[in-house]
Amino acid sequence: MRNTFKLLFFSFILSASSSSAQNWLPYSNPQSQVEFELPTTAMVVDSLVTLHTILYSSEVDSILALQVHVFDSAYLNADEELFAVALQENDGNELRAIAQIFLMATNSELISLQEITNNLGYPGIEIGIDYQTLEADYPAVSFIQYFLVNNKFVAFSISGSEDDMPRLLSYKDQFFTSINFY
What gap in Å lies between CA 4 and CA 13, rounded to an integer?
A: 14
Q: For residue 71, give the DSSP letter.
A: E
Averaged pLDDT, 21-31: 88
Query: Which strands, in side-by-side order, build the sheet including 139-149?
Result: 43-47, 53-61, 64-71, 152-161, 139-149, 123-132, 109-117
What is the H or E stretch that residue 98 is in? helix 94-106
Q: For residue 164, give the DSSP letter.
A: G
What gap in Å lies between CA 116 and CA 78, rounded to an integer?
A: 23
What gap in Å lies between CA 23 and CA 14, rounded to an integer?
A: 16
pTM of the predicted model as reported, rounded to 2 decimal places? 0.84
Phi, psi of 78 (to 5 degrees): -70, -10
What DSSP letter does each residue of 5-54 carry, written as one string? HHHHHHHHHHHHHHHHHS-PEEEEETTTTEEEEESSPPEEEEETTTTSEE
- In this prediction, residue 175 carries a pLDDT of 98
* Per-residue model confidence as pLDDT tens digits over 56-100: 999 999 889 999 999 988 888 889 999 999 999 999 999 999 999
Please give the span between the terminal C-alpha atoms of the chain, in angstroms, as a whole number.
54
* Per-residue model confidence as pLDDT tens digits over 107-161: 899 999 999 999 999 999 999 999 987 776 788 999 999 999 988 999 999 999 9
